Amino acid sequence: MAAEVDPGGAFGTGAADRSRALEAEILGVGPFGRPAPHLAAAVCRAGGLGVLDLGTDRAAALAALADLTRWWRGAFGVRVQAGCGVRPDELPDQARTVLLDAVSAEETIGYTRGRRLLVEVVDAAEASAARAAGADGLIARGCEAGGRIGELTTFVLLQRLLGDPGTTLPVFAAGGIGPHTAAAAVAGGAAGVVLDVQLALVRECELPCDVADALRAMDGSETRVTGGHRIFARPDLPDFDLTGLAPAEANTRLGASGLHVKALPVGQDGFLAAALAHRYRTAGGVVQAVREHLGTHLRAALTARPLAPRDDTSDASDVSDAPGESGVAGPVYPVVQGPMTRVSDRSAFAAAVAQDGGLPFLALALMGGDEVRDLLAETADRLAGRPWGVGVLGFAPPELREAQIEAVLAARPPYALIAGGRPAQAAPLEDAGIATYLHVPSPGLLERFLGEGARRFVFEGLECGGHVGPRASFPLWEAQVQRLTDFTDRHPGTAAEMSVLFAGGVHDERSGAMVAALAGPLAARGVDVRVLMGTAYLFTHEAVAAGAIMPGFQQAALECAGTTLLETSPGHATRCARTPYVDAFEQARRGLEAAGTSRRRMWEQLEELNLGRLRIAAKGLRRGRGGGPLEPVGAGEQAREGMYMLGQVAALRSATTSVTALHEQVTAGAQRFLEARAAELGVVVPADAAIGAATSATSATPTTSGLTSGSEASGRRSASAPAPADVAIIGIGCVFPQAGDADEYWANIVRGVDSVTEVPASRWDPAVFYDPASRTGEKSPSKWGGFVPDVPFDAFAYGIPPNSLGSIEPTQLLALEVAARALRDAGYDERPFDRSRTAVVFGSEAGTELGTAYSVRALLPKYFGEVPPGVDGQLPRLTEDSAPGVLTNVIAGRIANRLDLGGANYTVDAACAASLAALDAACKELVTGAADMVLCGGADLHNGIYDYLLFSSVHALSRQGRCATFDASADGIALGEGVACVVLKRLADAERDGDRVYAVVKAVAGSSDGRSLGLTAPRVQGQRLALERAYERAGVHPSRVGLVEAHGTGTEVGDRTELATLTETFTEAGAAPGSVTLGSVKSQIGHTKCAAGLAGLIKTAYALHTGVLPGTLHLTEPNKAWDGTSSPFAFGRAARPWAAAPGERFAGLSGFGFGGSNFHAVLAGYDGAPEPVSGLAAWPAELLLVRGADRDAARTALDRLAALADVPGARLRDLARTLAEPN
């Protein structure tokens, strides 16, 4: 059942985050306009605000609302789009936040009465209209987002809205948001961030296969814009055209029904869906990762101060260790003036930038070798030892580029930058001591360049002026920061070799602070971080005074209200101000299209049209007719004919400034802005904080962000709360007789498979030890048992040398394998979690076959004086691995060691109740806060002849060879073996983290039989005490229980005693006759002794999870102690549906051991998530669909099936799924 919450809490709060003191909200919106209630509930549980997109299908929306209110009892949000079929009065009270798109606000405004209204806007005009309409907040949707967009990117739009004195409303950032850019947005003043496509592949979100596959393959470049909407683009898809459509009509054309059915509204941030789902698995994991990074980044930026002014006697990165490095001091400011064609070609301007502490770059563009030499010589003289650099076009004609490089090598400026270049082009410059940067517009290129040895990079978003790359700053920076983080994790020590320039949209204190927060963890690792600006310098007095630009260019920048992209051909676009030339360009394009001009010819003519336009704008010069000398143009012609290459930040500045003031803004000013924002958010940096420690969470396990978040508050409260908490079973792994994994185990239970067989000869020889008439304990009256199948074990995967395996008890190895499987099933095989607070508790006992063999070797000389020669070769010899290899406690210790877990590890022994004793201990680890996760298991491979003789000596073995639990013919047990493990967490934590919950352990209680006549005979009083304690602690009345998994060994006395205990307890509690299904899995797998409690727990958890009541084998005539007319219990011989709703399913589970050790657990179903679509993962048969356009194609598909079927470990259901999906 779901954790109880206060439905009257604040927006987005619930059990996991009531104490949040900071409003840095994370909104999780269902992607692609599809109602996703499971996703919304998961976001809410993680401390965010889950938002249910109501879409346009009324029935689907109402069903989703019903599910969401059942799974989450706190507040949530809804997104209402044009064409929504749900009436305002049909929204539940819990829907306290409403998201509206600005273009449809008028028709949907009725949904907002009494609710918080957040309006999605794409520009300042829409923001102003939203404020006037009574909005409570704005969502800034940048042009990199999917769906409806405007011109500005998220990075710039956020600055535009937050910098507007009229904006007093909270602003949320949407588009390009990941863990790193979320920190940048919040540092810049955003009230929070919006996640949508980022959650599209998490466990709680379901999508058609083709859509999911497309998202998994995205790198962010596969989008295009049509009719003001960004959609997924691929050559094989229909040419969806949304031009001129009304909002409601456009919404009907958008969606995730299928890539060929509707346009998929996905943005450049679509690549994050796969990356985040792979790393964090669930919505809760993603939300928490984003929240953790907020504080981690801010603390790192405060500590490392990446953009603060630097000592003018040394460069922060000492920017190159290349041979021949000049002794030039580094710039005072970590600011680079980017090379701008036709602008930064004046040494006087470079000198002005360098004199005021910046690093200027000359733009060599298409200059000839002689011209380059003259300019470099002049600049070197003028700068007199100050740092400077040159910008080279990597795609320039080879002969021209070689001449330029020759001149550069001769002049040896301290720095160089190659646009469109490769590491091989940078190598000669680096070898000459010239620190050389490479433009890297994509994460794939960065990965390649890193592999080729490059260490200096420029990450420039499409916000910049002039020729732009394919990605906006936020999605580009998010990808690149993660790539560098991963690379420096894999290659320690490389961070200090790196220097990174962030460009595109940077120009003032706010934008500088955002970059500092984004790159703080990189700086803390030792990466040299700087910003590169171009457009911002065009507003300086020095740009005009030095002749870099004409006054008319600067005036155009001051008057710029917006920019546009002029695309000459696919992938070749130039950002410039909206001027008369833009209209002329578009008119020319339309004319060429109308004339039927071929694409290639049209591209050529448009490129020709652009030639010389920047020179006209920047220098007021044009080439004379016939290629003659340059001629000046008048102001009118300059304004009319010039192309003013400006970045998006031009619209954010309206006054001139000085280079000094600009540098101060983006460095010292940015640091002050960041410190003030951190103080406002309550981020505290400990006085002794180490820089390295401040950043480890960006690549390792998130622990604490420095922000008082819901997830942290929950963790602290649950860790210290004295009251018991419900415990969730979130992962399962096991090996039992005839079941190599958990799916097969559950399938065997449901199908009623009898997994007991005759003893394999490899275990012991019935011809020697079996005697059906034996009653002395010298031979076994049974030759049947449950034996685990062969299990593949990869010793290398666990770092175990193969030659050590013979000295390690197989119980330890199987326990390690099963624990790793359970962790994988829980989703934590690769997902980060706090391993230091993860414990391991196993139930087992000593006396393994390997240990016994060692004992025999040790004792033989005592009796014979030596080890008899015929025996010597058959007994193992002690090695350095033998001692830990046979110790029972090392079952848990080896798991903790190999899986790198830092919580407590120990093994408990309560005989046949051992694994329920382990469950009791594991729950206490969680309830007391000693651990946040526990791997709890039971392991027993005691099926050797010694074990058979022991049980024979107490007359416990069944001569029939079966556990006929609660049957009148029951005459004892059949021994079984198995190893099992479950992953446990506090329910509130599991919900917060988005874990799949199989069942909830409400309580575990134990008791002892006290003084009695023997140590092996059961006692009603002791067993009943355990039951009463368990139900009291659980807060569950026994009359609500629908299933009891009994200890049920099949011994006459044991069954009679247990049935009496249960009947008394449940009858007195008022349980209706026949209302409780009673059974035992021992009837199918035998008595697995120390693993028996986990065998029953896993069976019960699956029953609760799937709504299936399993049957019990070998039960034809119930025990005489059972009265069919009055007993609360009924026996099911076959599996049947459990009709109760998940939240109304309760079960009990018993485990008893020699010595009067009694345990009972109370479990409950979980109603906070959708039920499984099938009660079984493994079906006895699958439908294989083989398709082909013709007979040959079908045969090819069949050949493919045959090849796949031959792959080791291939499962029938996987083959069926593969065949069903389109190729």
Kindly report, residue by residue over 176-190, the tens digit of the pLDDT.
999 999 999 999 999
Average pLDDT of the chain is 90
Burial 376-404 (b: 16+ CB within 10 A, else e): bebbbebbeebbbbbbbbeebeeebbebb
Amino acid at 141: R
Cα-to-chain-centroid distance, residue 739: 31
What value does the mean pLDDT take over residues 920-947? 96
All domains of the chain, ordered by start, with CATH?
Answer: 25-200+279-297+693-717 (3.20.20.70), 305-548+658-677 (3.20.20.70), 551-652 (no CATH), 727-847+888-1164 (3.40.47.10), 848-886 (no CATH), 1181-1223 (no CATH)
- State the CB neighbour count (10 A cutoff) for residue 136: 16
Question: What is the SS3 assignment for 484?
Answer: helix
Examine the pLDDT at 572 and tell me if it is beyond 60. Answer: yes
Confidence of residue 302 (pLDDT cuts 50, 70, 90): very high
Q: What is the pLDDT of residue 324?
A: 33
What value does the mean pLDDT take over residues 213-230? 96
Distance CA(137)–CA(396), nearest Å, equals 48
Distance CA(353)–CA(830), nearest Å, equals 48
Nearest to 511 by CA among 694, 349, 677, 387: 677
Distance CA(53)–CA(199), nearest Å, equals 13
Examine the pLDDT at 697 and tell me if it is beyond 50. Answer: no
Q: What is the pLDDT of residue 15?
A: 31
**β-pairing verdict for 572-577 and 563-569:** antiparallel
Q: What is the pLDDT of residue 687?
A: 58
* Sign of the torsion angle spanned by Cα atoms 25, 26, 28, 32: positive
Q: What is the pLDDT of residue 725?
A: 55
Confidence of residue 1142 (pLDDT cuts 50, 70, 90): very high
- State the CB neighbour count (10 A cutoff) for residue 211: 23
Q: What is the pLDDT of residue 484?
A: 98
Q: Could you give phi then psi for residue 1061, rounded to 5 degrees? A: -60, -50
Examine the pLDDT at 794 and tell me if it is beyond 90. Answer: yes
pLDDT tens digits for range 388-411: 999 999 989 999 999 999 999 999
Percent of the chain whose pLDDT exceeds 90: 79
Higher-scoring residue by pLDDT: 688, 580: 580
Nearest to 1132 by CA among 1118, 1149, 1144, 1151: 1118
Nearest to 190 by CA among 205, 175, 202, 206: 175
Q: What is the pLDDT of residue 627?
A: 74
Q: 264: which residues sit within 8 A by CB, 6+ positions away?
A: 32, 146, 211, 214, 231, 232, 254, 255, 256
- Tell me the Ramachandran region of residue 420: left when phi exceeds 0, alpha when psi lies from -120 to 50, beta otherwise: left
Q: What is the pLDDT of residue 1222?
A: 66
Contact 516, 500 (CB under 8 A): no
What value does the mean pLDDT take over residues 754-776? 93
The DSSP code for 136 is: S
Q: What is the pLDDT of residue 882?
A: 86
Q: What is the pLDDT of residue 330?
A: 59
Q: 138: which residues sit within 8 A by CB, 6+ positions away?
A: 118, 119, 121, 127, 130, 131, 161, 167, 169, 170, 171, 172
Q: How far is CA 1004 from CA 977, 978, 1067, in A?
A: 24, 22, 21
Question: What is the SS3 assignment for 490?
Answer: helix
pLDDT tens digits for range 75-134: 999 999 888 889 999 999 999 999 999 887 777 778 888 899 999 999 999 999 999 999
Helix (H) / strand (E) element for 944: namely: none
- State the CB neighbour count (10 A cutoff) for residue 110: 12
Q: What is the pLDDT of residue 303?
A: 96
Picking from 430-439, 722-731, 811-820, 1039-1048, which range would have the lowest pLDDT averaged per residue? 722-731
Distance CA(716)–CA(704), nearest Å, equals 11
Q: What is the pLDDT of residue 378?
A: 96
Confidence of residue 1092 (pLDDT cuts 50, 70, 90): very high
Q: Which two tokens stand for residue 613?
A: 């336009």
Distance CA(386)–CA(413), nearest Å, equals 10
Q: What is the pLDDT of residue 700?
A: 39
Examine the pLDDT at 686 and tell me if it is beyond 90. Answer: no
Q: What is the pLDDT of residue 23?
A: 60
Distance CA(229)–CA(246), nearest Å, equals 12
Q: Could you give phi then psi for residue 515, rounded to 5 degrees? A: -65, -40
Confidence of residue 694 (pLDDT cuts 50, 70, 90): very low
Q: What is the pLDDT of residue 714?
A: 36
Distance CA(431)–CA(453), nearest Å, equals 13
Higher-scoring residue by pLDDT: 273, 1208: 273
What value does the mean pLDDT take over residues 508-535? 98
What value does the mean pLDDT take over residues 1124-1151? 95
The DSSP code for 668 is: I
Q: What is the pLDDT of residue 525?
A: 96
Q: What is the pLDDT of residue 770?
A: 95
pLDDT tens digits for range 1099-1126: 999 999 999 999 999 999 999 989 999 9
Contact 231, 265 (CB under 8 A): yes
What value does the mean pLDDT take over residues 993-1005? 96
Examine the pLDDT at 21 and tell me if it is beyond 90. Answer: no
Q: Name 148's bridge partners.
A: 229
Dihedral angle, C-alpha 739, 741, 742, 746, nearest 10 °: -30
Percent of the chain whose pLDDT exceeds 70: 93
